[in-house]
Amino acid sequence: MSPTVASVRLQKVLATAGIASRRAAEAMIAAGRVRVDGRVVTEQGTRVDAKISRVEVDGQRVVRQASVYLVLHKPRGVMSTMRDPEGRPTVRELLTDVSAARVYPVGRLDFNTSGVLLATNDGDFAEALLHPRRSAPKVYVVKVNGVMQERDVDLWRRGVELEDGRTLPSKVKLLRYEGDKTWLELTITEGRNQQVRRMGDVTGFRVMRLARLSFAGITSEGLMPGRWRYLTADELTDIKAQFGVPRRVVSPPKPKAAPKALPLPVRRPSGRQGQGHASNPVRGPRHDAATDGHPRYGGGAPVRRDLNTREDWGGGIRRGASEPRDDDSPPRHDLGRGRSRTTGTGGGIGASGPGDTYRVKGRR
């Protein structure tokens, strides 16, 4: 396909779809795992029209996903990869509830290093933050074995000679001493494999503890180890201003609404009560041994009460009444202290005059 405005490199299509980073996508292409319109493509730099061409990886069609950006507080003892041939725990197990898209880590942290680990499905975003030219800062807190003097700290600041070359200048802040141990805050802009630990080995200060505090200005503040959150629009705006990515700032996905609570079921009577037709029975007050043959009053909230429960307006014969009254008589309004239901506050249950002081327990 001749280069056109609509055509893009195949590895970029895979990276943009969240399949893998561009480097990993190039490995997929070289391994013959990618097809374009049914034809296996192994040539790097092949250009395709993402809107027209059918691109497949391992037989699965590639579909562009909505961009997702998040930060994970990686704990120690976890691999910062999506799979491990040795069967060790990976961050994939910590990101299983990211349902919006398939994400992968931006860079890596050592097995025994904890702290900030970004993850995304935006290949351009990941590549930009990892590119040496961008110089995205990574801030660590380091505990080393030995008492570092100012000259030792200056050596780390200027750069340490490693087997793969001299490290770039870094920012080092001496935090404190703990006996024969030294705590430092280290800011570097490179991403070499186990760079900080190798710096300690070369200078004679073995790294005992290492945690990343921030990456590209993003921290894990407020996150427990193993927890993650989406990057906010403000955070993405700041990253874009410094590093040019992401191309489009998006708001984090909205959380799913909690399911509505089901209403409490209404208890049905076990059998027909009272007199009446079978199709429309008349429910009267229930008589049982618990009430000595008298009607049962009260019953609590309408949703929970028995359908055979009658209202009690005070003066009932079994609830502290001063005298019996007709069950069919209307509510009494001469109770001296106003109306009184079973939960009222007037004269209480059964009060018939100013002298009666029956009250519901706990009411004032």
Based on the residue annotation, tell me whether 110 is a catalytic residue of this protein.
Answer: yes
* Residue 238 DSSP SS3: helix
Residue 22 tokens, joined: 């561009």
Query: How are beta strands 7-9 and 47-49 bridged, if at all?
Result: antiparallel
List the catalytic residue out of 49, 84, 110, 306: 110
Residue 312 tokens, joined: 């009690």
Which residue in this structure is represented by tokens 């590639």? 62
Q: Distance between alpha carbon 323 and the CA centroid of its chain, in Å?
A: 63
Q: What residues contact residue 155 under an 8 Å CB cut-off, 6+ apart?
A: 203
Listing DSSP states for 81-98 in one string gives SS--TT---BGGGGSTT-
| Burial letters 259-270, b for 16+ CB under 10 A, else e | eeeeeeeeeeee
Query: How are beta strands 114-120 and 207-215 bridged, if at all?
Result: parallel
- Classify residue 112 by its DSSP letter: T
Alpha carbons 90 and 84: distance in angstroms, whole number: 7
- The identity of residue 360, as a single letter, is V
Q: Long-range contacts of range 273-282, CB-CB < 8 Å, 24 or more positions apart?
A: 273/308
176 DSSP β-pair partners: 183
Q: What residues contact residue 159 under an 8 Å CB cut-off, 6+ apart?
A: 166, 167, 168, 169, 170
Active-site residues: which are they? 110
